[in-house]
Chains A and B, each alone.
Chain A
Amino acid sequence: MAQQLNHLRETASQTAGPYVHIGCVPNFSGISGVYDEDLGIAMVNEKTAGERIVIEGQVLDGTGTPLKDALIEIWQADSQGLHNSPSEMRGTADPNFTGWGRQAMDMSTGVFRFETVKPGRVPFLDGRLQAPHVSLWIVARGINLGLNTRMYFADEEAANAEDPVLMRIEHQVRVPTLMAARKGDTYHFDIYLQGESETIFFDI
C-alpha cells in the first residue's frame, strides 16, 4: 500500500441542451432586464489595436443541416500574441480587447458571427511560434461534452507551414478543416460535426 493521491474527479459534463441561451445569452433569448448585456457579445471597442476581422460560419450536423441552437465561445490572443488573462506571464495584453467572445447561432439561419481582431502568434511549448489561431468551444443540444477545435487563417501560408500543431497532424488531408478562407475582412469557417469533412476536434 502507498499513500493516496487524493485527487478529486472532474465533474462530468452534461449537454447544454436546447435552452443554453437562457443561461448564457439571456438577452438574445428574449429575457431582458436581468443582465444589462450578454457576456462576450463585444470583444473589441473603438480603441482595440490590430486588424479588424469578422469570423462567420455555421455548424453542420451529419446530414449537412446547420445547427440553429448551438453556442460557440472563442478565445484568442490579441494582435501582439498576448492573452487577456492573469495566467499570461509574457506581458500585458491590450486592455481594449477581451480575447473572449460568445455567440449563439442565428435562430433562423444558423450563422454565427464574431467581430474580433486578427491574433498575433503565440509560442508552442518549446518556444517555436504557432501560426495565428483562434480556439473554439462548441456546445449544443446533442453534444454531450463541449467540442474543442482551432481555427487557422488560410492566408497565413508561411506561418501555417511551420505551425507545430498543424505539422504533427498525421492525416494532413484533414488540415483544411481547420482553415478559414478570407473574403474581404471576413473569414469564413464552417464546422462539420461528422462526415467526410469532419472538423478536427482536439482533446486538450
Chain B
Amino acid sequence: MGNAKPETGAFFPRDRSLHPKAFTPDYKTSVVRSPQKALLSLNNTISEITGPVFGHEILGERDNDLILNFAKPGESALGERIIVHGRVLDERGRGVSGALLEFWQANAGGRYRHAKEGYIAPLDPNFGGCGRTITDDDGTYSLRTVKPGPYPWPNGVNDWRPSHIHFSVFGHGFAQRLITQMYFEGDPLIPLCPIARTITDQAALDQLIAPLDMANTIPMDARAFKFDIVLRGRRSTLFENRMEGN
C-alpha cells in the first residue's frame, strides 16, 4: 500500500460495453450460465468501496517464478522462457500499489495440471502452472514463466485456445475485482477463438494482447512481454456527496 492515503470514493460506473456480454452462444457454456434479467444498478456503498488488501508477507520467494516454483531442486520447467511485466493502473492512469495478481496457465505443450484436464499433451513434472505477486508502490509487477502452448477444447469440433495466461486481480475495492486473460502479440489463433471473441470491442480485445518487449529481454535467457492491467478508477472524495448534517 505504500504511504498513500486510503481511497474512499465510489468507483466510476463500469463501462459494460467493453466487457463481454453474459450470453455469447458461440462460447457454448455461456448459454445456460448467463443471467437473463437486467442487472440491478447499485451505487457503491462501503461494502463495495472497501476490499481485502494483501501484504507482501504472504508471498514466498518463488511465487512469481513459474519456472522454478514447482520444479525439483536443480531442475526447471520446459519451454520458451519468458518474462511478463507491466503495471496495474486505474482508469485515472494512476499506478495501483499493493494489488494482488494471481496467474495460471497451461505448460509449454498446452496441458494444465488439473484433474479435469484431458488433452493428450504431457504434463511437465517441473511445472505446476500457478503463481502470484503484489504490485510495488507505482503499480509495477513482473513474473517469469514458460510460454504456454495453445490447446484444443471441446466447444466447436476444432476450436483452439490461443496461448494465454489467466490473471486474477485484486485492487483495493471489492468492486474492482477482475479476472481476465493475457494473449501474445501475433498469435493467429486470437481472432479465431470463441472466448476471445466474446469481446466485441476490438480496442478492448487489443488491450489484452501483450507485445514483445525486446528492451526488457534478458539476453541469452528470456524474452519479455509487457502487459498493463487497468482496474476501475474511483471518484476523488474532495467534495464527497453527503446528506447535510451527516
Chain A: residues with CB nearer than 8 A to chain B? 6-24, 26, 29-31, 33-36, 39, 61-63, 65, 67, 69, 73, 75-77, 83-90, 98-100, 107, 122-127, 130, 133, 135, 137, 139-148, 150, 165, 169, 174, 193-194, 198-204
Contacts and interface: CB of A to CB of B under 8 A. Distances in A.
B192 interface: no
A86 B41 contact: no
B52 A100 contact: yes
A107 B63 contact: no
A11 B230 CA distance: 5
The 6 closest A-B pairs by CB, nearest first: A23-B104, A142-B29, A85-B50, A142-B33, A100-B52, A62-B32
B224 interface: no
Interface of B: 1, 6-8, 11-16, 18-22, 24, 27, 29-37, 39-54, 58, 60, 63, 69-70, 89-93, 102-104, 112-117, 128-132, 166, 168-169, 172-175, 177-181, 195-196, 198-199, 201, 203-205, 207-208, 229-233, 241, 243, 246
B46 A123 contact: yes
B173 A194 contact: no
A141 B42 CA distance: 25
A193 B35 CA distance: 5
B114 A29 contact: yes
Contacts of A146: 177-179
A144 B30 contact: yes
A6 B188 CA distance: 31
19 contacts: A7-B92, A11-B230, A12-B19, A15-B198, A16-B179, A22-B128, A23-B102, A24-B102, A75-B47, A75-B50, A86-B6, A87-B51, A88-B50, A142-B29, A142-B30, A144-B21, A145-B19, A198-B35, A204-B11
Given A83-B47, A135-B174, A12 B199 contact: yes
Contacts of B102: 23-24
B19 A193 contact: no
